[in-house]
Structure 1
């Protein structure tokens, strides 16, 4: 009996010894499990599915907390052992917006600079890469919403990356004390959100080959504030060479970035520093020295948010001392001019673009009646009346909304396509009008394109999803995948999407029922008069 037990014990010890030896040999040889990757900072371990390797919550910069609040993103602190990256990190600090089209999946916090990667298991270093930049008016948003899941892209042979960037006053803030500190340190200032985005793109450039991605075949894509961010990355010299193509979804493109500056007041805006001084005064902090800056950094995160979100932006409190600068500022280094001027002068990355908006996109109407509305077109007032209200019977609200969205989103999207084409790049222009069958909307609202572009309509619509919805999403998703892979948007059994030609004003029109139609923009006359009025007033 004892002899048998002794033999069993010896066999067990031999197996344990062999296992430990194999572990040591693997470590010495640098061998890793299929779901382990070495990146800047150390080794991470993600999760595996039959087709994909997924990594969530990868630090791409140090937590921007304490003395790093309102500083450019700093390098990650290396870690020991293997870091588990199977769940999203915190979304960035914010006050969530109740009716957000992409509800957050994680609790917001200041410690939020994390990236996520979905990679095909067979990614071999030549696999194209798509990087997502979320929207939310620069005050809301994150990488954790279900509709931003990158699985479908990876299943189609694209390494998909998303990441977080700072929001609200954490992402855009100026104060004389910060300006002094930045000058002493040689730092950029004001647009910390954009600095985060550049840091994330640099992380992709330096690390994506570890996931099988090609750092020389990177497309960036963003919607709303994310689309504006894509344009910012196209303008920023610091981001040159970090991406090869761009997809701009409802990103504006005329007066984007305005003339708001960090240290100077303009005709349109207070200086960013003055907004910061107003905010500090509201919370009992005066002065412009290091002591004032320390007091600002000592404020708790909720106080820095100060009730700011998309709802507050659209219903701002009336005050003679406003405390929110409104987002991006011209800082003289990263953002140096309006996007309109940058487009005209060719001060943008030489990349091909896909650009468009939804058929019921954002647009305001500050006018009291039709006469005032059309008078705002100046010498083109009568022409505007003819294209927007030929019968004279259209309701004022309908006409006002059409003009508003054309000025804010539709014409600026076409303008980007025109200008990039004039500088020798290829542009693909679209309008997304597809509406889920469970919705009674007459057109596609702002941000409703995202689940179709990502093919996450099942996550968005659940049991209400129809075969027609899924077919539309599959077709649209194929265009995006194809553009990321080759620079040419192609979709099986769908319309051939041709390169934009300004004289034709040709576009891909994604219709209400999901059909893809290519031809002259049906709103060409509307956008032509908007363009004429804008350019005559400059």
Structure 2
């Protein structure tokens, strides 16, 4: 047992039980709430509020507090556009003072428990760790400590400007403040989670969509190395950060120039001061125009995000940890194939061959985006990681509530979250006992992976690791799980070959 685990084991004896459990962290005491054997501590600050002079600065330490801090309610969500009823955003209020996390810990642990550290999705512009969808109580009942976090979003989290560059110390990282927040939260966990019964040496990072992309980036981040032992990527496109902090990208100019353009719309000229930038009201950042897309937000700065995910994994720069990675069967059925640049660049012969790989032209239009943006890239990243000798477990999620509307039924993008967290009560559609059974199995596989490094579930099939020449995935169906050949492998092979051709021709 590691020194950290020994210290954690000693700390377990001081964790109180009861309706209002209290734990002392490095900054002070926090008092949570207990329900059905799980102690929840919500809204704990892991970094100082990034306001005033700390806006667009790396996260700074939290000032200690002397009185016991109430941790019975979630903190504010980070500044973001209106949620429009999205159940992944969580309750308000909204504030720049949002760098908090939530801990869900089983009571009565007699030894340090593995930790599951959740990074929410939302394209780096929406979402929060405070949503009921991400309530970690049911997952914690599988014998793990669950941590969910907020991190800065949009232009608050990913931004630069000539005035900021001018005042910045040479050694200070820039631009990727949201990713810096994630690393700061991991460091807080490393220092404090033992007080909640967690094992700081056994942390699994997991995330979905942009959160899955973030997991890939954390696997490459030197500053995150050693802060986690396992990883799970759920529908996280292994792309992004393909640009650099100081150069133009195919979709726009350098980050600082884009920041200057945005600031000019808010009355701060390109030669304006950092003080003027920080005086822009937080609400001004709710204006969606000009909008930064997720792929333009995270920038390869050579330090926090050293390179693109594609380049980093191809070169074997990622953390050598066990990995679960997978996608949903019908990620974006409403997104038409012809809107994708690859489909637009195909020759007539290539297009005919590609459509033939689907059931028909309509099936091609509805499923191509899922294949080219999610299924294919996930398989590619899995292969890259496995080729380095690391255990990789591939999945396909194909379960959904019967009440989902037509015509786009199936496991949409993000559909698996409510099953993994076993929070089907947050579903926008009625669920059944069948859905509950799938949720119990999915959360069991995830938690067992966090505990052992090998995903398993009671009474369910053994999940094989990816092996060259023998690629299988665990497929979650409505009526159970099964080990199957990677779905639609021949189709993914064709898409990969066409992408290689387009890349060689300079069209990608």
Q: TM-score, normalised by structure 1?
A: 0.85
Counterpart of 2:4 in structure 1 is: none
Does 1:337 pair with 2:320?
Answer: no
Counterpart of 1:492 in structure 2 is: 458
1:380 Cα deviation (Å)?
A: 5.4
Does 1:257 pair with 2:227?
Answer: no
Match among 246, 251, 255 for residue 272 of structure 1: 255
The answer (yes or no) to whether the contact 1:169–1:324 under 8 Å persists in 2 is no
The answer (yes or no) to whether the contact 2:241–2:296 under 8 Å persists in 1 is no
With over 3 angstroms needed to count, the CA separation of the structure-2 counterparts of 1:380 and 1:346, relative to structure 1, is farther
- Residue by residue over 1:11-68, the C-alpha shift from the partner in whole angstroms, topping out at 9 and shown as x without a partner, is xxxxxxxxxxxxxxxxxxx978541111121111111234122100111000000010
The answer (yes or no) to whether the contact 1:93–1:301 under 8 Å persists in 2 is yes
- The structure number with the bigger radius of gyration is 1
Does 1:459 pair with 2:426?
Answer: yes
With over 3 angstroms needed to count, the CA separation of the structure-2 counterparts of 1:223 and 1:359, relative to structure 1, is same
Once residues 196 and 111 of structure 2 are traced to their aligned partners in structure 1, the CA distance between those partners, rounded to angstroms, is 8
SS at the partner of 2:253?
coil
Does 1:127 pair with 2:113?
Answer: yes
The answer (yes or no) to whether the contact 2:337–2:367 under 8 Å persists in 1 is no
After TM superposition, list the pairs within 5 Å mapping 1:24-63 onto structure 2.
33-34=16-17, 35-63=21-49
- Residue by residue over 1:349-372, the C-alpha shift from the partner in whole angstroms, topping out at 9 and shown as x without a partner, is 1111100111111475463799x9
1:88 Cα deviation (Å)?
A: 0.4
Once residues 231 and 111 of structure 2 are traced to their aligned partners in structure 1, the CA distance between those partners, rounded to angstroms, is 21
With over 3 angstroms needed to count, the CA separation of the structure-2 counterparts of 1:56 and 1:78, relative to structure 1, is same
Tell me how many residue pairs correspond in the alignment.
485
Structure 1 residue runs of 5 or longer lacking an equivalent are 1-29, 314-321
- Residue by residue over 1:236-256, the C-alpha shift from the partner in whole angstroms, topping out at 9 and shown as x without a partner, is 000000001111011011x32
SS at the partner of 1:416?
helix
SS at the partner of 1:388?
coil
After TM superposition, list the pairs within 5 Å mapping 1:46-125 onto structure 2.
46-125=32-111
- Greater share of residues in helix: 1
1:386 Cα deviation (Å)?
A: 3.1
Q: TM-score, normalised by structure 2?
A: 0.90
The answer (yes or no) to whether the contact 2:33–2:72 under 8 Å persists in 1 is yes
Match among 185, 188, 213 for residue 200 of structure 1: 185
SS at the partner of 1:326?
helix
Counterpart of 1:13 in structure 2 is: none
Once residues 216 and 201 of structure 2 are traced to their aligned partners in structure 1, the CA distance between those partners, rounded to angstroms, is 20
Does 1:520 pair with 2:505?
Answer: no
Counterpart of 1:11 in structure 2 is: none
The answer (yes or no) to whether the contact 2:300–2:306 under 8 Å persists in 1 is yes
After TM superposition, list the pairs within 5 Å mapping 1:47-446 onto structure 2.
47-184=33-170, 186-253=171-238, 255-259=239-243, 261-288=244-271, 291-307=272-288, 326-362=296-332, 364-365=335-336, 367=338, 373=343, 376=346, 383-388=353-358, 393-395=360-362, 398-440=363-405, 441-446=408-413
1:307 Cα deviation (Å)?
A: 3.3
Structure 2 residue runs of 5 or longer lacking an equivalent are 1-12
The answer (yes or no) to whether the contact 1:36–1:46 under 8 Å persists in 2 is yes
SS at the partner of 2:385?
helix
SS at the partner of 2:65?
coil
Does 1:533 pair with 2:503?
Answer: no
With over 3 angstroms needed to count, the CA separation of the structure-2 counterparts of 1:73 and 1:465, relative to structure 1, is same
SS at the partner of 1:183?
coil
1:333 Cα deviation (Å)?
A: 1.1
1:505 Cα deviation (Å)?
A: 2.4
- Residue by residue over 1:315-351, the C-alpha shift from the partner in whole angstroms, topping out at 9 and shown as x without a partner, is xxxxxxx899832111121112211111110011111
SS at the partner of 2:357?
helix
SS at the partner of 2:175?
coil
With over 3 angstroms needed to count, the CA separation of the structure-2 counterparts of 1:365 and 1:437, relative to structure 1, is closer
The answer (yes or no) to whether the contact 1:54–1:86 under 8 Å persists in 2 is yes
The answer (yes or no) to whether the contact 1:58–1:114 under 8 Å persists in 2 is yes
The answer (yes or no) to whether the contact 2:340–2:369 under 8 Å persists in 1 is no
Once residues 469 and 365 of structure 1 are traced to their aligned partners in structure 2, the CA distance between those partners, rounded to angstroms, is 29
SS at the partner of 1:429?
strand
The answer (yes or no) to whether the contact 1:104–1:145 under 8 Å persists in 2 is yes
- Residue by residue over 1:134-178, the C-alpha shift from the partner in whole angstroms, topping out at 9 and shown as x without a partner, is 011111101121110000122111000011000010010011111
Counterpart of 2:473 in structure 1 is: 507
Once residues 409 and 98 of structure 1 are traced to their aligned partners in structure 2, the CA distance between those partners, rounded to angstroms, is 25
SS at the partner of 2:494?
helix
Once residues 169 and 468 of structure 2 are traced to their aligned partners in structure 1, the CA distance between those partners, rounded to angstroms, is 44
Once residues 458 and 299 of structure 1 are traced to their aligned partners in structure 2, the CA distance between those partners, rounded to angstroms, is 39
The answer (yes or no) to whether the contact 1:101–1:448 under 8 Å persists in 2 is no
Counterpart of 1:3 in structure 2 is: none
1:182 Cα deviation (Å)?
A: 2.3
The answer (yes or no) to whether the contact 1:52–1:120 under 8 Å persists in 2 is yes
What's the Cα RMSD here?
2.4
1:495 Cα deviation (Å)?
A: 2.4
